[in-house]
Amino acid sequence: MYFNKFKKPENEEVKEESGRGKQSIDLGNGSEVIYIQRFIGFEKSWEFFDYLNKHIPWIRPTIRVFGRQCLQPRDTCYVASPGLPELVYSGYKPHANSWDDFPPIKDLLDMVLEALPGSKFNSLLLNKYKGGNDNVGWHADDEKLYGPTPEIASVSFGCEREFLLKKRPMKSSQERRLDDEPTSKRLKKSSRFDQHSFILKHGSLLVMKGYTQRDWLHSVPKRAKAEATRINLTFRHVVV
């Protein structure tokens, strides 16, 4: 389920297609999100959930946030093809597990590739949210190893959680450029509050494309009422 809580920006285009509830959301300036609500059937999705919950070697790592060591507020696991540059985020270097150790994950990858012809993925970050306190704060997956326009395909199972996107604050150089424009135009641009919200359903697929990681931040905030476990997989392509 996708909705814009605020005003509909002029350049936003939401296309709805029949069947699996596919929506394409044009965020403007070369950023795009695709959301397929019913990507995998209900029962099949619970089979994936049970497998992942049981068989993935989940770890809750210590990460560095603003110079402080703290426990990451969710469990995680990393899977990657051999020979890729190592992933490092928040001062943490996850161990790269092998695709071959988790056959159902390869099946999921095949399903994602079938839905996104022409896309490539060679790594996967899994997250497990054990209740409403587990979360991911505002961030972008803009690590250099993903290149300038990463495509990230995110599959969700279990408890529904809200996924938020908000436009990154403008760099001062961009603001200076806006200063050259008439005030009316400038106010319109700078006061438009761009935020998008998705309730990520059991068995859904959300894809972030184009410049989404450069121009937008995303998060899965804490939710007191989300007591059940949610498992999320983000397929990514590390450029070699």
CB of 181 to ligand AKG, least distance (A): 34
The Cα–Cα gap between 113 and 77 comes to: 21
The Cα–Cα gap between 235 and 59 comes to: 18
DSSP of 92-114, one letter per residue? B---EE-GGG-HHHHHHHHHHHH
Contacting range for Fe ion; rule: CB under 5 A; set: 21-29, 40-48, 135-143, 197-205: 135-143
CA of 200: how far to CAs of 1, 3, 231, 240, in Å?
Answer: 7, 12, 11, 31
CB of 138 to Fe ion, least distance (A): 10
Is residue 105 near ligand AKG by the rule CB under 6 A? Answer: no
Q: Which phi and psi angles does 146 have, rounded to 5°?
A: -90, -5
Is residue 45 near ligand AKG by the rule CB under 6 A? Answer: no
CA of 113: how far to CAs of 85, 120, 133, 194, 208, in Å?
Answer: 22, 7, 32, 30, 14
CB of 123 to Fe ion, least distance (A): 13
Taking CA 58 as the corner, what is the angle to CA 69 and CA 145, rounded to the nearest 5 degrees?
Answer: 65
Is residue 48 near ligand AKG by the rule CB under 6 A? Answer: no
Binding Fe ion (rule: CB under 5 A), the pick from 12, 26, 32, 141 is: 141
Q: Which x/- pattern over 130-149 shows residues binding ligand AKG (rule: CB under 6 A)?
A: ------x----x--------
Neighbours of 55 (CB within 10 A): 13
Binding ligand AKG (rule: CB under 6 A), the pick from 33, 34, 116, 125 is: 125
Is residue 238 near ligand AKG by the rule CB under 6 A? Answer: no
The residues of the shown chain that bind Fe ion, judged by CB under 5 A, are: 141
Annotated binding site for 2-oxoglutarate: 127, 129, 139, 218, 230, 234, 236
The residues of the shown chain that bind ligand AKG, judged by CB under 6 A, are: 125, 127, 136, 141, 154, 163, 200, 218, 220, 232, 234
